[in-house]
Amino acid sequence: MLIANEVTREYRSGDQEIAVLRNVSFTIPQGAFVAIVGPSGSGKTTLLGLLAGLDTPTSGKVILDGHDLTAMSENERAKLRGEKVGFVFQSFQLIPTLTARENIQVPLELQGTPGAAARADELLERIGLARRGHHFPMQLSGGEQQRVAIARAFSNAPRILFADEPTGNLDAGTGARVFELLESLNREAGSTIVLVTHDAALAERAGRTIRLSDGAIVGDTEAAA
Amino acid sequence: MSARSAQLISLTWRESRGARRRLLLYMSAISLGVAALVAIDSFADNVTRSIREQSRSLLGGDIAFSSRRPFTKEQKAILDTVQKRSSAQFARVTTFPSMGLVQRSGKTRLVQVRAVSPNFPFYGVITTTPAGRWSSLQSGPVALVDPSLLVALDARLGDTLSLGMMKFVIGATLKDVPGTPGVAEIIGPRVFIPEKYLPETQLLVFGSTAEYGVLAKLPSSADPRKVVNPIRSSLDKQQLRAVTVTQSQENATEAIQQLSQFIGIVGLVALLLGGVGVASGVRAFVSRKIDTVAILRCLGASSGQVLAMYVVQAAAMGILGAIAGAAIGIAVQFGLASVFGDFLPVDVEVTLEPAAIMTGIVIGGWIALIFSLRPLLALRNVSPLQTLRRDADSEVLRMRWNDVPRVLVNVALIGSVVLIAVLRATDLKQGLGFSAATLGVIAVLTLAAIFLSFVARKALRSGWPYVIRQGVANLYRPANQTRSVILSLGFGAFLITTLYLVQSNLLKRFEFNAAASQANLVFFDIQDDQLEGVDSIVSAKGRIVQSAPIVTMRISRINDRPVERIVADSRARRRSDSLARAQGGAAAESVRKRNADEADARKRGAPPRQSGRAGWALNREYRSTYRDTVTSGEKITSGKWFSSAALDGSSDTTEMSLEEDVAEELRVKLGDVITWNVQGVEIPARVTSLRQVTWTRFEPNFFAVFASAAFRSAPKQHVILASVADGMTVATLQRDIVSRYPNVSSIDLTLVKETVARIVAKVSTAMRFMALFSLAMGIPVLFAAVAATRRDRIREGVLLKTLGATRGQIIRILLAEYTLLGLLGSLTGMVLAIGGGWAVTHYVFEASYAPALVPALGIAALMLGLTVAIGLLAGRDVFKETPMSALRDI
């Protein structure tokens, strides 16, 4: 499903090149649940951006569902994201001027997929917010916003879902419930999940953990069966 | 439309919630510019249509012939030929000023008498109060008068009105007379009398100021131009003026076209200023949308989809802003009719003009769109990575200088400005000049902003107080607002100051310097044998300030070249030049080169070519005088006053002094000899001096002044200026003179001053309205410019608060920054306006120009105050926001 091959990412700061990721390589099969963990500044978020096609590596390749992201233009990657990828962010990243229902519809509308409203209603029901579909993000609690964001991520039945600290802005109880919802929807959709997290408890629920430190992989372990 | 497009449009509409009001506010920056264009274009169309529909009524006939003296045998022969050849019917009208006296009240007033034949006018209907009295005008010695005359003379219907030696009964007041603007009534109320009683008035004596007119009505199939054009040279030779209905229409629309052009320029500049405001506002809007765009990109939106969404939002709000402007313009259009109605020769029917409205909306909408595109383009480059890691707005929105779409939009923007200017100007040169000037102003202001940032960076000293350093540093730090504020402010200051300078220079033309002349009463048309008697009556009740003889004459030859030859040669050359230019190529180039060579030769001091222009100066009747001294209202600018030989009449050729502007019109220089036809006698005179005349003084001024000796015995009349103590004595003196000498007319100069003041007040009000309108425009534009960096300011401000800055410190930082911005922007705008004011006054109005520095500095100070106030007002959000909420946002 997802192949990272000798991926390196460097940034220029003044007249220095700083390597945030160095020669990272791994393969994630379809349906896997992978957690990427590491201390702050280890390159987790940078790696997530590269794997999702939000950014391009300085060198190396990223192949997502058979598509070489490094050989594609930004618009081609955007199209691929719309068709195959879902996102859940730490700060929810809902569009403030759209209602909950409308936020869920966005990926389908961008691709021109018919039946977007019906799909959104279905997901709202699924996440327990059928009566709140007409509310704007600022009228929802943090947990409710994240649930809407999760529904949006699954609206286009993604092949792979990237989650960046999905419970980072939520209290423990809410975070746990939100994560259960994520897992539940994923079981139904059969997507691959790539999760970036600080939370050790969350990471334990993944089938595999890739550990990053100082831009390089320092550990790659499968969970005990 | 595909389902995808429909969904995208739906998403665009929904996403615009919350931003619509703000975007509409930014777009309102163009509303006032659109309003000006729609108002003036609609009004000009109304006037032009009314003139076209009423053109025959304006003239009263198909052709109007006129002469300043009774028709000669030759002139009558021309008219007879016209009548025979074209089967025309003729009506006659003789117009002249005279004193009207009401016996019952004893009051007298200068009036405009029109003695008309029974079939006058051929077109148009003259209505009276009571109704229907026009048809009884010819039934006896009846006078129909303007209502204001009854008030001025304390008269009523049925009273006897004396005009010269004849008495008339006031039969009715005039209600509507086609062809004369209402303001003319203020200067001289009209009195219509039957033509047959004109000789009995004995008012038209030697040298009387009168216009003798004949109206021709042609068969309906005849073209007036085809009647007049073949006899044009004969008409000119016999000094018989002919105006066709088409020419009359063109003359009548000329003034409104000039007004339309001026207000159109104001509207266009206001529109461009609005465009600058739109660009600033949309920049602020774009900053707010970075997060949303990043999310959309994550979710699969292409850069094209994202750009399309926000271009559609901006375009929709731009159209709405333009429509709002058009609605304001329609309201103003109705107001224009009441402001300018008195000055127009027709009754203007004010109606909606769809073409003008649509043009205003299209131009305004386009300007809003093209100025929005520049900042909107940056949204293409917003990376979806911003959802994970947010950079500063300025970094996110940065575009390469050679980004192709950006370059194309810049070219389209400049091209739009040039195209709109050229389409609205009277000719290509003026349009290109205007666009070059506007782009030049923008370029200078941009350079001024860059200069300020540079100087701020270099001048900053570590020893300065922190608040000053912070304020100055804000001028050059990344994402500063220096350029947008100076551009908006400077452009606004430029517009307002230019308007003010043009207004003050135009109105100077109307300032009559009565105090300098000390006279408040003038008597004219005094015959030679009446001079002593009038002098004695006036001296008994007042003081004679000035007395001048007037000799009427025409130019016969200039340096032995007959006037007819000069005029004919000039016309022939103009025709051949025009033909050559139309052909283009080598012929046109030859004409251009010849004119350029002649211009160079004149610069080197070569004599001017005689037959250039100035048909009016060659053919007109001159009312000249003779005296031995220069008056206080004149200044010799070259040559010398008359020699003693000329003064005592011992030289062969008399000497004359010519007014410098008419000398230039005639292409005459010192030493040239002009031969004058004075009542059939030819008198040569050498030009020995040129004079500058202060035309605005209340005293007789003359194009040509001669040494006394040559004209003492010439047929002449006189004018006397007097100073009289009070209004009662003025009225008494006027009555005494007109009773004894009915042909002598007089003007109460106090009345003229009041009339001029009323006209000037009206014009000033209109000009002040436009200046206020420009100021009103400047405020939303400045707000938009400041709004662009509002978020950064708030973040920065609350950070400072968190670190311990007091409210007073933050205010002083803002004060330092905005004072410097305001100072440079308003002063640069002011300096540019001094040049702009000259250009408009010189090229559009062909008037003299003197920059009014003190008021210009006052406007600059006002704009500085406005900038600081708006800056502090925008900064108040810093105090409203709590540190916690702002930091959470970071």
* pLDDT tens profile B239-259: 888 989 888 777 777 777 777
Q: Do A96 and B18 touch (CB under 8 A)?
A: yes
Residue B506: which pLDDT band, with cuts at 50, 70 and 90? Answer: confident
Tell me what the mean pLDDT of segment B556-581 comes to: 78
- Nearest one of B8, B13, B14, B29 to B284, comparing CA atoms: B29
Give B7's contacts in chain A (Cβ within 8 Å): 109-110, 112, 116
Using a CB-CB cut-off of 8 Å, the residues of chain B touching A92 are none
B283 to chain A, closest Cα gap in Å: 19
Partner-chain contact A93 B295, CB within 8 Å = yes
From A79, which residue of chain B is nearest by alpha-carbon distance?
Answer: B300
Residues B248 and B58: beta-carbon distance below 8 Å? yes
> For chain A, what is the radius of gyration of the CA atoms?
17
Q: What is the mean pLDDT of residues B579-593?
A: 70
Using CB atoms, which residue from B16, B305, B389 is nearest to A110?
A: B305
A95–B295 C-beta distance less than 8 A: yes
Q: What percent of chain B has pLDDT over 70?
A: 90
Is A121 touching B (CB cutoff 8 A)? no
Question: If you average pLDDT over residues B863-890, what whole number do you get?
Answer: 72
Interface test with B, best of A109, A164, A195 (most B CBs within 10 A): A109
User: Would residue B653 be called left, alpha or beta, if left means φ above 0 and alpha means ψ between -120 and 50 degrees?
Assistant: beta
Nearest to A78 among B7, B15, B300 (CB): B300
Mutate one of B5, B8, B298 to test the A interface: name it (highest A CB count within 10 A): B298
Length of chain B: 890
CB contact under 8 A, A98 and B296: no
Q: What pLDDT is attached to residue B516? A: 52
Asked if A79 lies within 8 A of B388 by C-beta distance, the reply is: no
Token pair in block for residue B137: 């005008």
Q: What b-and-e string marks burial along B805-832, b requiring 16 or more CB atoms within 10 Å of the CB? A: beeebbbbbbbbbbebbbbbbbbbbbbb
Q: What's the whole-model pTM score? A: 0.75
Interface with chain B: mutation pick from A93, A102, A194, highest number of B CBs within 10 Å: A93
Chain B nearest-CA residue for A114: B3
With a CB-CB cutoff of 8 Å, which residues 146-175 of chain A face chain B? 152, 156, 164
Radius of gyration of chain B (CA): 34
Residue B374 C-alpha, separation from nearest chain A C-alpha, in angstroms? 21
The per-residue pLDDT of chain A, averaged, comes to 90
Q: In this complex, which of B4, B292, B385 lies closest to A54 when CB atoms are compared?
A: B385
Residues of B within 8 A of A116 (CB-CB) are 7
Asked whether the predicted pLDDT for residue B461 surpasses 70, the reply is yes
Residue B611, pLDDT score: 45
Grade residue B698 by pLDDT with cuts at 50, 70 and 90.
low
Average pLDDT over residues B723-735: 84
Number of Cα atoms under 13 Å in the Cβ half of residue B238: 20
Angle at B136 between CA B132 and CA B142, to 5 degrees: 120
The per-residue pLDDT for B184 is 57
Q: B829 and B494 in contact (C-beta within 8 Å)?
A: yes
Instruction: Pull the structure tokens for residue B871.
Output: 């800056």
Contacts of A20 in chain B (CB under 8 A): none
CB contact under 8 A, B387 and A98: no
How many residues are recorded in chain A?
225
Residues of A in contact with B292 (CB under 8 A): 95-97
How far is the CA of A95 from the CAs of B52, B386, B461, in angstroms?
A: 59, 14, 45
What DSSP element (H or E) covers B856? helix B853-880
Q: Which of A40, A75, A160, A164 should we substitute to test contact with B (largest number of B Cβ atoms within 10 Å)?
A: A75
Contact B570, B747 (CB under 8 A): no
Measured between alpha carbons, how far is residue B541 from residues B514, B538, B723, B736 in Å? Answer: 20, 6, 9, 10
Taking only residues 35 to 54 of chain A, the set having a beta carbon closer than 8 angstroms to any beta carbon of chain B reads 45, 48-49, 52, 54
Query: Using 50, 70 and 90 to split pLDDT, how confident is the model at B696?
Result: low
Residue A67: which residues within 8 A CB-CB, separation 6 or more? A80
- Please report where in the chains the tokens 């105006």 appear, as a residue: B243
Q: Pick from A49, A78, A98: which is nearest to B15 by CB?
A: A98
What's the mean pLDDT in A133-140? 93
Tokens 């048909």 belong to residue: B615
User: How do residues B851-868 score in pLDDT, each as one tens digit?
Assistant: 888 988 998 898 899 888
Mean pLDDT rounded to a whole number for chain B: 84
Shortest CA gap B23–chain A (Å): 14
- Alpha helices per DSSP H over B109-244: 147-153, 182-187, 198-201, 224-228, 232-237
Contact B7 A87 (CB under 8 A): no
* Segment B369-410, tens digit of pLDDT: 999 998 999 999 899 988 888 877 777 888 887 889 999 999
Are the Cβ atoms of A96 and B292 closer than 8 angstroms?
yes
Strand residue runs (E) in B117-236: 127-129, 142-145, 160-163, 166-176, 190-194, 211-217
B10 to chain A: nearest residue by CA?
Answer: A109
CA-nearest residue to B389 within chain A is A45
Instruction: Please write the tens of the pLDDT for every residue from B96-131.
Output: 988 899 988 888 888 999 999 999 999 888 999 999
Q: Does the distance separating the beta carbons of B8 and A95 come in below 8 Å? A: no
Chains A–B, number of C-beta pairs less than 8 Å apart: 95
**pLDDT band of B474, cuts 50, 70, 90:** confident
ipTM of the assembly? 0.88
Tell me: pLDDT of B493 over 90.
Answer: no
- Residue A150 DSSP SS3: helix
Name every chain A residue with its beta carbon within 8 A of the beta carbon of B294.
Answer: 93
Compute the nearest-CA separation of B460 from chain A (Å): 24
Put simply, the answer to whether B385 touches A55 (Cβ < 8 Å) is: yes
- Residue B372 carries which side chain, given as an amino acid letter? S
Would you place residue B699 in the very low, low, confident or very high pLDDT band (cuts 50, 70, 90)?
confident
pLDDT, residue B279, reads: 87
- Record: contact A110-B11, CB cut-off 8 A: yes
A13 inside 8 A of chain B by CB: no
A-interface mutation test, from B13, B299, B305, most A Cβ less than 10 A away:
B299
Q: What's the average model confidence in pLDDT over B290-296? A: 93
Helix (H) or strand (E) holding B588: helix B585-603
Residue A156, both tokens: 């286009």
**Which of A54, A96, A116 is nearest residue B298 as measured by Cβ atoms?**
A54
Pairwise pLDDT comparison (B890 vs A14), residue with the higher score? A14
Residue of A nearest to B19 (CA): A97
CB contact under 8 A, B389 and A45: yes
Please tell me the predicted confidence (pLDDT) of residue B603.
Answer: 54
Give me the sheet containing A160-164, strands edge to edge.
A85-88, A160-164, A192-196, A33-37, A208-213, A216-222
| Residues of B contacting chain A (CB within 8 angstroms) | 2-4, 7-8, 10-11, 14-19, 291-292, 294-305, 383-385, 387-389
Predicted confidence at residue B612, as pLDDT, reads: 46
User: Are B298 and A87 an interchain contact pair (Cβ–Cβ within 8 Å)?
Assistant: yes
